Structure 1
Amino acid sequence: MPHLYRHLQVHQIFGANTNVGKTIVSTALCRSSARDGRANRPSVFYLKPVSTGPPDEADDSHILRFAGPQRSTISSWCLFKYNEPVSPHLAAKSAGIENASPNSFDQHFVQSVSRHIAGIAKSLPLERRHSMFFCFPTSTGVHSPIPSGTTQAEAYRPLRLPTILVGDSNLGGISSTLSAYESLLLRGYDVETLLIFEENYYRNWEYLSEWFAKRNRESTVGAKTHVGVLPKPPERKVDPAEDHDVTEQYYDRLCQPESPMQEVVTHLAKAHRRRIETLESIPNRTLQHVWWPFVQHATVEGPQDVTVIDSAHGDIFDAALSPPTPTLESPAPASGTASILQPLFDGSASWWTQAVGHANTSLTLAASYASGRYGHVIFPLASHEPALQLAERLITKGPGKDWAARAFFSDNGSTGMEVALKMAIRSTKLRYQSSSPTSAKKELGVLGLKGSYHGDTIGAMDACEGGVYNAAVEWYKGRGFWFDVPTVGFKGGGVVVSGEWRLSGASLSPDGRGWSEDFASIQDVYDVESRLSSKLANSYRAHIQDTLEHLVEEGHLFGALVIEPLIMGAGGMLFVDPLFHRVLIDTVRSSTRLFSKDSGSSSLHLEEGCWKGLPVVYDEVFTGLYRAGCQSATSILKTNPDISVLAKILTGGLLPLSVTLASKSVYDSFLSPNKVDALLHGHSYTANPIGCAVANEALGMLETMDQNGTWQRNQDLWKEGSIEVSSSVWSIWSPIFVKDLSRLGVVENSMALGTVLAICLRDQSGGYSSNLAQRTLSQLTSSMSAENGNSAFGVHFRTLGNVAYFITSLNTSGETISTLQSRILNALDSSPS
């Protein structure tokens, strides 16, 4: 839906208020821009998306009436017309149009405008560089509603067109103009020009000229705003003929070559060229100065490998492509009429952070309010409302409900895990210190699962088995033991739990390399409590207990059990059998004597509510807060952690923030008369008020979606007859689609939970170094032409070796999901087996 062309300028006109002269400005812009147009061929295009009132008073009629000598070069349209001279949302109701689904109408509305722009661009010749202009004025003020009731500033945001703001020269106009400007700025619009009529009583133009000149000097946020002061229009005459003549003379003076309006047209043309030049310069500048994470720069071939993201909205990146630049010597290909910017679906949810879409206005306003109220303030021995509200929310009704007592703030998931490890290991050491001074001096490791990933700080890396993320770091020292991982997924259309190691009591897998067990439905797998007495549970229990006893006999000491519940993300999007997680936790907690073996006592006296065996840490940085379809894994595992870490979705994907939740017994471990026994960890931006305010807003939005049935249809599709299962799981992705994927010859298995879809491709030399998934699905990046003439989005995605994964927001539309599913299936179906 983005629009940026080499041969066509597209501008949107907003008014700071009603009756500020948008129609006059639009007419003058069209006349001034058309001066260089080719005779008898339209070079200026005017669109009024919505018009209310009598047709003969509509803006598009006025434009053509006063087009002057340039009439043959100006075309004018209106897409939605209502005869009632009231606000569009009221006019639509008067016309008998009810919007049962405002979101659906908004999408139709903006797509109609978008198709119109794209159609004009496609029809224009490329042999010359025309100074073409597309006037796109809006009704009344920036927050006046469109027919659905959505405000204009919101409705037009997916287009994010360069903006002309017509200022208010009337009483109170300074305030209304600056308020309109800031409203547009908050939504990411570039206000390239402010036009205001000269009025010598209020002299708003004088103040605003100085205000914008100062802001242009001092700020780098948004576009530099050119201010054009226009002569005041003539008073309307009673006699229609006289009024026409006076108005025509005014337009003629206003559009002279040296007039302020011509300066505006020149400025807009320069801004248009500068925007394109800046976008085209970004790839080379990036390659010269930026060091990307998780990228081998030696394999980057050139600027074509850089995805330039001009802006983002909802699930979509507006990304600049790199086609050959057309020249007079080298005629442009047919695609030269296409927009330089193309829509790309954010297929990784921007590294798993997005929850409600990019540039969400509610989150933006929450951040702006907290920024204006606090900025940042120090936190130790201090408090502020956003942090306290967030802590109380997470503990009393969020993932910490019924078990957590304290919330510790940090800046990202990896740091949050560092804090969790310090909490857990210190708690274990203090508990066993009193009975065994010898063991207290030994290093405590962690228990976890193979393929774990807890972040890239040194301590978090050491809490994982050596692999591609950590083993290459010279400081890495794996501190612990990691169990093999049993996984769940669809294979050949059926649900299978399997492991790639020999498990006593379990059935051999068809390939003989491990074991597997078939299930009737995915709900049966995630009904953990009903499986606790199963044969597989007993096999897990015996395997874990035997392994732990052997490790302790060898002299290993452990300080924590650390797991990524439900899905192990960076390890390859592994959907771990939840029964294994539950049995592992239960076995560790029932092994108090085993972990305190050096004390010589048969047991330790523990107060009610204290952790037993080892403190259990849930790393829910990725899966928490509905990413996997539930607020926390506790609702599926039916057991609480002692420590839990939340990040990513915590702020809806807008800002970095992490919270480590801890039980009372863990917190009490740090209480002492000595300051050095405190949890000496923190950073300067601890409990940043802006991040906390955004988190509160994001959590409120997620809770509303959970309660108002946003996901009900998806949940019903995944029930598969198991309606009574209290731990039912679901996904935004269709279960039929996920099963169909698993039947493809190139697919080893597929699985989905919540917003996460993972597809493991068959690859003899699979693993992180494989590029099979990226190569197989490469066609997804290209935009496809939809049947209705719209330009469908391409897909920006990342892979983990031979595993392709796709993650949506929690409010991604069903239509978008259907499009994604079709494209993924087609790409894999056309791939050689």
Structure 2
Amino acid sequence: MSLLFKNLRVHQVFGANTDVGKTMLTSALVRASASIYERVYYLKPVSTGPIEEADDEHVKRYIGANADRLHASCLYRFSEPLSPHLAVKLEADKGQTEILVPSDETFVQALASRIHKNASAAKSYSHMYVETAGGIHSPTLSGTTQVDSYRSLFLPTIVIGDSRLGGISSTISAYESLILRGYIVDSILLFKDEYYRNGEYLTPYFAEKGVDVATVDPPPPRLADPSANFAATEQYYRDLVPPSQEGVIFDVLSHLDNCHSQRIEELNSMPGRTLDTIWWPFVQHGHFKSAEDVNVIDSARGDFFTVYNGHRRPDSEKSTSSLLEPQFDGSASWWTQALGHANPILTIAAARAAGRYGHVMFPGATHLPALNLAERLVRDGPGKGWASRAFFSDDGSTGMEIALKMALRVFAMKQSPPLDMADRKNLGVLGLKGSYHGDTIGAMDACEEGVYTCEWHNAKGYWFDPPYIAIRKGEVHITVPQSIIAEHSTDEIILDSLSQAYAVNKRLDSPLASIYRTYIRRTLCRLQEKENPVLAALVLEPLVMGAGGMIFVDPLFQRILVDSVREGESSRTLPVIFDEVFVGLYRLGMETCGPLLGVNPDISVHAKVLTGGLLPLAITLASNEIFQAFLSDNKTDALLHGHSYTAHPIGCEVANETLKMLTKITTSEKWQSMKAKWATSEDSDPAVFSVWDQNFVETISQLDHIKEVMTLGTVLAIKTRDDTGGYRSASAQTLLKTVVAAANGDLPNAFGMHFRTLGNVAYFITNLNTPSETIRVVEDKIWFALSNTSS
């Protein structure tokens, strides 16, 4: 919803405190703009108190000779001179009218609509000022503080500083509150005070930060006689905004205009500069032929990017539409986002730890953010009931490297006698075809040959071709691969519901379970007879293999596979690793996959959602048996793995805050309501559910050009009918290309979409707190794209 126009320079005015002269100085800016341009707009979103004392009335009263150029308005007006959240409540309590307190989304949308309207009406370059109420953290109508409520608009900001005693502190604090939330502060404006002289301190202080500070003479004291007061105030504005168009206020206007034009110029230059200097991951640069192909992200908030589209519009010089458009982050930024972009709670947690610690050396030491996180994950989180230790690293791939080192060491030590180093180098892993554990060399070696592997890759192990679950023509299917078909009469099994498919314990005595068990045991016996490689660990992505194509593995197969590698003599059992980097921490609707599968791992890896998508951090959890294998008096027996930023306090503190928020979300009435929608007559409390609408999922699965659809939790995967298939296919991208563009950026809910594909599989992922209304709009866009494409 962030807005930027070529023809309309919009600035939002925040006050460092109440009664700092915000309206007086905004009026001066408006008056100066009106003396230069054909139109100037002033918007007061919320006004409280008598109409004659309203800020918009003050602006109109002192506009001077150019009143016909001013368009001043107020969106919400209340008669009681109280904070907006109290004024609206009091108005409702009076019972005079039926008042529905607008949500932050409704409130901001009303502001955005008014700004769009003004931009469309502006015949030539114009200015607009949006004046907030009270101080920086004064509440809006909903009770949310202004600095958070207005953030999605991402308007460049003017701060009216405080010239009074204590004003240095309040001005700097206001600025830092804005910066913490990503605002662009273009100017600080305040009155001169001969006694406190705050401007003398603040000017060089902010100069070092590249922020312009301007000071002006204070207004005359308010006079009791209205006529005399008007005359004195009018004279003040005449002196401050002279007909010569010279002086401090006009210097500020020039500076704000320069900031506006420089921002547009920078955004317009970014695609070309990017193509000249950046090497993207997972991108074939040969497909990017021009600057128009580059997605320029100006900011992000909640579920959305704000993208610059001026470089894609031939008519942008003449256009009155915003150069910025909202774009739904359909991949949750590579599966990391869980609580929305720029979440202020997480931002403040990061700042809190950065201010207290920065980064500190971790081996042999501890600090509270790391200790709290380790205890939470081991005792009450994914490791509850089986893990004893938490090992910190930086991302999912290195977390998996650590897990592999742990597992291979344990297996080698269990052999009688323990394996020597030469034999250890030949150890391999057991896994599933289509698995992916990251792009570091060791993590790649734990997968079979594929599109992600590199020249040094040396696949070490064996990978089962797994059966998987999908919805076809509205029915839940289990597809059994050719390698198992010999054990079964058909390669397709139809179940009544997803709940039935994921009721693993109930399915353990089914005929299919017996077939899986026989097949797996027979295969393992055959593999044990081979000399190389010796299989030393089972490595699984529980339930869903993400990068391999969003493969929703039959959980019964994974359960029996875990049970099978744990049978027999202790020296021959394999440590089990769960790679929950993608699927863990409620991405699929559950904190961890172990309870659903009915088995716990020996080692598990967690990342991505762990920090709410704010910054990288990974945790490898391990059982006590794993830990004991590295315990001795010899330092070289230790787990000699780490990186410079191990357990960095900022990541740990953000992770702790994320886990608190996840608990609140997943125990909420809204979460339970979403879960209940997937209940069946046989299962009122389903083990699995989705934030996506069940009817929508089943309906798109009926389309002729869609092979299958599948969903769990926040994940939706759509597989097209494509004979070529595979990662190299472009069919999913082509089929859904119309969802990318916004239908009309000036309308509510008119947003574009960013999404990723894995060959002929398109996937969409929401945050855990994405509003249901947003998901419904996304579903409509997907349905429109799919239903209007010929098969």
- Cα deviation, residue 789, structure 1: 3.7
Partner residue of 1:750?
A: 709
Quick check: 1:493 aligned with 2:453? no
Stretch of structure 1 that moved more, 705-714 or 105-114:
705-714
2:161 pairs with 1:185: no
1:245 alignment partner in structure 2: 231
* 1:355 aligned residue (320, 338, 350): 338
| Alpha-carbon distance between aligned partners in 1 of 2:730 and 2:288, rounded to the nearest angstrom | 14
Letter of the structure 2 residue corresponding to residue 123 of structure 1 = A
Cα distance per residue 1:731-772 (max 9 Å; x no partner): 111111111111011110001111000000000000100011
1:282 and 1:314 map into 2 onto residues whose CA distance is: 23
* Equivalent AA in structure 2 for residue 176 of structure 1: S
CA distance in 1, matches of 2:351, 2:679: 41
1:228-267 matched pairs, under 5 angstroms: 228-256=214-242, 257-267=245-255
Identity between Structure 1 and Structure 2 (%): 51
Q: How many residues align?
A: 786
1:617 paired with 2:600, answer no
Contact 1:507 1:517 in 2 (8 A): no
Match of 1:157 in 2: 151
CA drift at 1:501 = 1.2
CA shift, 1:298, in A, is: 1.6
Structure 2 residue corresponding to 1:564, chosen from 541, 544, 557: 541
Q: Does 1:810 align with 2:768?
A: yes
Q: Once the 2 structures are TM-superposed, how far is the Cα of residue 502 of structure 1 from its aligned partner?
A: 4.2
Q: State the match for 1:521 in structure 2.
A: 497
**Superposed displacement of residue 505, structure 1:** 6.7
Tell me which amino acid in the other structure corresponds to 1:185.
Answer: I
Q: Which whole-Å deviations, capped at 9, do the CAs of 1:449-497 have from their partners, x for residues lacking one? A: 0000000000000000100000xx1101000000002110100000011
User: More displaced, 264-273 or 698-707?
Assistant: 698-707
The alpha-carbon distance between structure 1 residues 85 and 275, as it changes in their structure 2 partners (threshold 3 A), is: same
User: Which residue does 1:395 correspond to in 2?
Assistant: 378
Query: C-alpha distance in 2, partners of 1:485/1:331?
Result: 52
Distance 2:10 2:159 in 1: 14
Select 1:535's aligned residue among 511, 521, 531: 511
SS in 2 for 1:96: helix
Write the distance in 2 (CA, Å) between the matches of 1:589 and 1:282: 55
Q: How does 1:354-433 map to 2 (within 5 A)?
A: 354-433=337-416
User: Following TM superposition, by how much is the alpha carbon of 1:124 offset from its aligned partner in structure 2, in angstroms?
Assistant: 2.2
Take 2:259 and 2:595, find their aligned partners in 1: how far apart are those partners? 54
Within 5 Å, give how 1:110-121 maps onto structure 2: 110-121=108-119
Residues 564-587 of structure 1: per-residue CA shift (max 9 Å, x gap): 001100000011110011000001
Aligned to 2:623: 663
Pairing 1:628–2:605 present = no
1:300 CA displacement: 1.1
Cα–Cα, structure 1 residues 458 and 742, in superposed 2: closer, same or farther, change >3 Å?
same
Corresponding residue number in structure 1 for 2:452:
469
CA–CA distance in structure 1, aligned partners of residues 40 and 687 of structure 2: 57
Q: Are the aligned partners of 1:495 and 1:518 in contact in 2 as well (CA < 8 Å)? A: yes
The 2-side partners of 1:196 and 1:439 are apart by 73
Whether the 8 Å contact between 2:539 and 2:579 is mirrored in structure 1 is yes
Distance 1:384 1:661 in 2: 18
Quote the residue 2:750 is aligned against: 792
Please list the CA deviations of residues 368-419 of structure 1 after superposition, one character each: whole Å capped at 9, or x if unmatched: 0000000000000000000000000000100000000000000000000000
Distance 2:713 2:321 in 1: 36
Deviation string 1:118-154 (CA, Å, 9 cap, x unpaired) is 11112223xx4x2x11110111101000111110001
CA RMSD, 1 decimal: 1.9
Change (3 A) 1:172 1:102: farther
Give the secondary structure class of the aligned counterpart of 1:719.
coil
Is this contact kept in 2: 1:195–1:229, CA < 8 A?
A: yes
Bigger drift between 544-553 and 788-797 goes to 788-797
CA deviations over 1:77-108 (Å, ceiling 9, x no partner): 00000000111111111101699999961111
AA at the equivalent of 1:816 = T
CA distance in 1: counterparts of 2:682 and 2:767, whole angstroms: 26
**8 A contact 1:776–1:831 mirrored in 2:** yes
**Contact conserved, 1:494 with 1:518, CA < 8 A, in 2?**
yes
**Shift in CA distance, 163/806, structure 1 to aligned 2, threshold 3 Å:** same
Look up the equivalent residue of 1:797 and give its one-letter code: F
Map Cα deviations across residues 4-24 of structure 1 (whole Å, 9 max, x no partner).
000001110000111101111
1:519 to 1:323, Cα distance in 2 relative to 1, 3 A: same
**Structure 1 partner of 2:51:** 55
Quote the residue 1:719 is aligned against: 679
User: Would the alpha carbon gap of residues 293 and 436 (structure 1) be closer, same or farther in structure 2, given more than 3 Å must change?
Assistant: closer
1:646 paired with 2:646, answer no
TM-score under structure 2 length normalisation: 0.97
Cα deviation for residue 672 of structure 1 reads: 1.6
Mapped to 2, the partners of 1:93 and 1:724 lie a distance apart of 39
Maintained 8 Å contact 2:307/2:326: yes
| Contact 1:505-1:535 at 8 Å conserved across structures | no
Q: Deviations over 1:423-458 (max 9, x none)?
A: 000100011142676994561100000000000000
Structure 1 unaligned runs (5+)? Answer: 217-223, 510-514, 597-612
Q: Is 2:177 the partner of 1:205?
A: no
Indicate yes or no: 2:782 matched with 1:801: no
3-state DSSP of counterpart to 2:439: coil
8 Å contact kept, 1:355–1:810: yes
Secondary structure of the structure 2 residue equivalent to 1:282: helix
CA distance in 2 between counterparts of 1:770 and 1:616 reads 33
Partner of 2:633: 673
Kept in 1: contact 2:137–2:147 (CA 8 A): yes
- Are the aligned partners of 1:799 and 1:805 in contact in 2 as well (CA < 8 Å)? yes
In 2, the alpha carbon distance for the partners of 1:103 and 1:723 equals 38
SS at match of 1:640: coil
| Counterpart among 124, 131, 145 of residue 139 in structure 2 | 145
Q: Are positions 1:71 and 2:31 aligned together?
A: no
Cα distance in 2 for partners of 1:317, 1:711 equals 25
1:268 corresponds to 2:256 = yes
CA contact (8 A) 1:508 1:516 kept: no
C-alpha distance 634-331 of structure 1, shift in aligned 2 (>3 A): closer
The aligned amino acid for 2:557 is F
2:487 and 2:519 in contact (8 A); partners too: no
**Where in structure 2 are the equivalents of 1:70-89 lying within 5 Å?**
70-89=66-85
> Which sits farther off after the overlay, 700-709 or 162-171?
700-709
Cα displacement string for residues 11-61 of structure 1 (whole angstroms, at most 9, x for unaligned residues) = 1000011110111111111111112223xxxx1000000000001110111
Q: Equivalent of 2:564, from 552, 564, 587?
A: 587
- 1:306 aligns to 2:283 (yes or no): no
Residue 552 (structure 1) aligned with residue 548 (structure 2): no
Task: Tell whether 2:660 aligns with 1:704.
Answer: no
Work out which of the residue numbers 478, 481, 502 in structure 1 matches 2:459. 478
The answer on whether the counterparts of 1:642 and 1:662 sit within 8 Å (CA) in structure 2 is yes
Distance 1:550 1:644 in 2: 28
Q: Contact 2:468 / 2:554 at 8 angstroms: preserved in 1?
A: yes
Once residues 789 and 405 of structure 1 are traced to their aligned partners in structure 2, the CA distance between those partners, rounded to angstroms, is 53
> Aligned equivalents of 1:785 and 1:339: distance in 2?
11
Match of 1:284 in 2: 272
Task: Using structure 1 for the length normalisation, give the TM-score.
Answer: 0.92
Range with bigger deviation, 234-243 or 528-537: 234-243
Contact 1:3 1:159 in 2 (8 A): yes
Aligned to 1:91: 87
Stretch deviating more after TM superposition (228-237 or 97-106): 97-106
CA–CA distance in 2 between the matches of 1:447 and 1:104?
A: 55
Shift of 1:250: 0.8
Contact 1:432 1:439 in 2 (8 A): no
* Code of the aligned partner of 1:56: E
Structure 1 residues 161 and 508, CA gap change in structure 2 (3 angstroms): farther
1:162 and 1:238 map into 2 onto residues whose CA distance is: 37
Whether 1:170 aligns to 2:164 is: yes
Secondary structure of the structure 2 residue equivalent to 1:117: helix
Separation in 1 of the partners of 2:192 and 2:249? 13
> Contact 1:505–1:536 at 8 Å: present in 2 too?
no
